[in-house]
Amino acid sequence: MKKIINYLLLFLGVAFFTSCLKDTQVISPEGTHNVVEFGNVSNILSGANNPYRLYVAAFPVSPLDTLVVPVNFAGANHASKDITVKIEVDNSVVDSLNVRQYVDDDGNPDSDRFLQPLDPALYTVPASVVIKKGSLGSELLIPIKIDQIDFDASYAIGLTITDASGEIISGNFNKIVVNVTPKNDYDGVYEYKMDGWFATTRTVPDAELETTGAHTVRGNLFYYYSNTIDYQIDPSTNQVTVIAISGGYPITNYPESKWDPTTKSMHVVYDVLGGHMVEDFTYVKPR
């Protein structure tokens, strides 16, 4: 009986290690081929079911800045030769992403959120980049005239990899859309403190204010609810006005609401839904 048990344990051990070896062979990248693809420009914003990846690249307003797009030789092996990767502007990808991202299951478009192709006169996309022998990637550098982008719409560049010197082009990550947006002087990450009707006090260390216009920014309501709140700053007086809260709630503003350009801080006082709110934003870093 003891011999039978020993044989059984030996059999199970061999079967276990054989299974592990097979699993290793399946998941190991050593036997797979590298693919050429776009890397992440920033955090991916497109939905899980959207086949096109959407990124946002925000820049301070200046005559010229550079969008950096990683181009990767993804896989276990380094490039065995110089790989010339050809890239084209393809704004049909922008249209396709709009449909997948901003049209609901009933076919109703959220047209206000649609991205518009950026004027090609404002940027230059190199025809190719080279992934050097022995490396795992390169960078596509796109100079953009940021100060000529208006705030009237959201603009984007669609890109497609068309050739990779005979290497395999990724079927999933060969097309991307980059929403290029200028940042005004108020855009950034702030320490947020609130006192009022919602709670006695509330502090958020990394509250974001996002550019929506030349002198307007958008945040989240109390950085607790999903509602958005829009602030407008008058550059001549530094007066701050809450101009909208999603949901259409009526707002009463107070004259003590001010932006301090020296400390990059904002003090906001307003009433909403019968509550008196006092908010303070202290600049921490760029967004």
Q: Could you tell me the sign of the dihedral formed by the alpha carbons of 267, 269, 273, 275, in that order?
A: positive
Residue 123 has pLDDT above 90, yes or no: yes
Residue with tokens 């290793």: 24
Asked if residues 184 and 213 have their Cβ atoms less than 8 Å apart, the reply is: yes
SS3 11: helix
As a whole number, the mean pLDDT across the chain is 88
- pLDDT per residue as tens digits for the range 101-121: 888 888 888 888 899 999 999
Residue 262 has pLDDT above 90, yes or no: yes
- pLDDT per residue as tens digits for the range 12-42: 444 443 444 333 333 334 447 899 999 999 9
H or E stretch covering 8: helix 2-27
SS3 222: helix
| Rounded Cα distance, 160 and 177, in Å | 9
Structure tokens at 112: 């206000």
Q: State the pLDDT at residue 23.
A: 35
Residue 7 has pLDDT above 60, yes or no: no
Structure tokens at 5: 């048990």
CB under 8 Å to 98, separation ≥6 — which residues? 109, 114, 115
| Rounded Cα distance, 268 and 239, in Å | 9
Structure tokens at 97: 């992403």
| Rounded Cα distance, 236 and 269, in Å | 19
| Rounded Cα distance, 132 and 142, in Å | 19
The secondary structure of 90-143 as a DSSP string is -THHHHHHHHHHHB-TTS-B-GGG-EEEPPGGGB---SEEEE-TT-SEEEEEEE
Q: State the pLDDT at residue 110.
A: 86
Q: Look at phi and psi of residue 232 and say left if phi exceeds 0, alpha if psi is from -120 to 50, else beta.
A: beta
- pLDDT per residue as tens digits for the range 60-101: 989 999 999 999 999 999 999 999 999 999 999 999 999 988
- pLDDT per residue as tens digits for the range 195-245: 987 656 889 999 999 988 889 999 999 998 888 999 999 999 999 999 999
Q: State the pLDDT at residue 6.
A: 47
